[in-house]
Amino acid sequence: MLRIIGVGICEGQITERAKDMIFSAEVVYGSERALKLAEKWIRGEKVLLKKFSREVYAEIEKEGEKRDVAVLSTGDPMVAGLGKFFRKAEIEPGISSVQLALSKLRIDLCEVLVVNAHGKRFEIGKRDLLILTDKNFDLSVFGDKQIVIIEDICSGEKIKKGLASDLKVESNNVIIYVGD
């Protein structure tokens, strides 16, 4: 089994589930910083990631088919993290630098546009949308565009994929993803 685990940005930001996953892993990969943040829970073999490439990720995925493997990602694996590089992995979220910065600024995440410009040219182009809403949201604004609806995440969760015109929102706890 392969898990990509967010270990937060600062000490003490690892979730209980993440601790258990790290503790049970036979092999734990991570940057020096990520390994340091999780060192209390590592019981398996520690492997320092020095190279971050598709080839390295493919090797780790193969290893995850045979062993219980954890890859530690500072912050959250799906906020400019390692999560997007692994297709065959369970993702455990962590506290991201974005969340930490916004809490210090007392700004709601839903009020800002977050862009990752690490090592790349910054351009505002077409962006995917993640919308937090309720059953009163009018899906017709998307026409016949493909969307994903997640209702009641972590509590009787339902995931619906399809054309917006064919789907219906039935909960007051809804996340809608609109992208390519």
| pTM, full prediction | 0.79
58 within a domain of the structure (yes/no): yes
Are residues 142 and 172 in contact, defined by beta-carbon separation less than 8 angstroms?
no
Is 92 in the same domain as 172?
Answer: no
105 within a domain of the structure (yes/no): no
Question: For position 58, which CATH number holds?
Answer: 3.40.1010.10
| CA distances in angstroms from 70 to 14, 62, 121, listed in the order given | 14, 13, 31
Largest CA distance in the chain: 52
Question: For position 142, which CATH number holds?
Answer: 3.30.950.10
Number of structural domains, the chain? 2
Confidence (pLDDT) at 148: 92
Phi-psi region of 51 (alpha: psi -120 to 50; beta: other; left: phi over 0): beta
115 within a domain of the structure (yes/no): no
Between residues 115 and 38, the one the model is more confident about:
38
Domain end (from 54, 85, 100): 100
- What average pLDDT does the chain have? 90
Confidence (pLDDT) at 35: 97
Confidence (pLDDT) at 175: 85
* pLDDT, tens digit (0-9, with 9 covering 90-100), for 5-17: 999 989 999 999 9
Is 138 in the same domain as 92?
Answer: no
Residue 69 belongs to domain spanning: 2-100
74 within a domain of the structure (yes/no): yes
Cα–Cα distance for residue pair 29/172, rounded to 1 Å? 39
